[in-house]
Structure 1
Amino acid sequence: MSNQSAFAEYESEDRMSKLIQKSKDSPFVPIGMAGFFGVAALGAYNYKNRGKMTTSIYLMQLRVAAQGTVVGALCLGLVYSMASRYLFKKDSSTDENNH
């Protein structure tokens, strides 16, 4: 029994370390995940106040809102990385050629 718990503990640490590494590489991924869970929690909370809207339509709109939040965060991350790579960083290759 201790072997199974040790294996599960190793596996969970491995997943957590992968998530931490992914967060360091691209910080907008956890922001997108947090946005997704935030929209999902807000939708679950507001489910009672949906009015005369059917459940299937409400869940479809909630899914689109959650996916839009994730895609928006990833697009912002892409724009940020491209801007920092191409617009805001000085080109060191031209400085090396001049000296």
Structure 2
Amino acid sequence: MATTDNDTIIDQTLSERLMEKGRKSPFLVASLISLAGICGYGAYGFRKKKISTQLYLLQLRVVAQGTAIACLTIGMGYHMIKKYILHDEKEP
């Protein structure tokens, strides 16, 4: 639920909220997409594994978390450069 200037409540669908979040912080969406891709690759690779299940899942978790954190860190750097170096006035 979002509010407008006159405090009326507007119902938003999930896709509308995701599009709004994508406009505000595109690297968050990129990290979610990469995380889903890594999980898909992990599910595929799980069937073809040649190592123990515990070790495989541990390695997959570390890779997925590292990718999500890397995307968010790059996004923070991008926004800091945009705000402080390029002096974008529209940036909050």
TM superposition score normalised by structure 1: 0.70
Q: Evaluate the alpha carbon distance shift between residue 90 and residue 62 of structure 1 in structure 2; reply closer, same or farther with a 3 A threshold.
A: closer
- Across the aligned residues of Structure 1 and Structure 2, the Cα RMSD in angstroms comes to 2.0
2:59 & 2:18 partners in 1: Cα distance? 28
Aligned to 1:78: 76
Structure number with the bigger relative contact order (C-alpha 8 A, sep ≥ 6) is 1
1:88 & 1:54 partners in 2: Cα distance? 50
2:80 & 2:20 partners in 1: Cα distance? 20
Deviation at 1:29, TM superposition (A): 0.9
Q: Evaluate the alpha carbon distance shift between residue 76 and residue 42 of structure 1 in structure 2; reply closer, same or farther with a 3 A threshold.
A: same
2:88 & 2:63 partners in 1: Cα distance? 38
Map residues 60-75 of structure 1 onto 2, 5 A cutoff. Answer: 60-75=58-73
Structure of higher CA gyration radius: 1
Q: Which runs of 5+ in 1 are unaligned?
A: 1-10, 92-99
Aligned to 1:43: 42
List, as ranges, runs of 4+ consecutive aligned residues in structure 1 with deviation greater than 4 Å: none
TM superposition score normalised by structure 2: 0.75
How many corresponding residue pairs?
79
In structure 2, give the amino acid aligned to 1:39: I
Structure with higher strand content: 2
Aligned to 2:6: none
Q: Evaluate the alpha carbon distance shift between residue 16 and residue 90 of structure 1 in structure 2; reply closer, same or farther with a 3 A threshold.
A: closer
Aligned to 1:32: 31
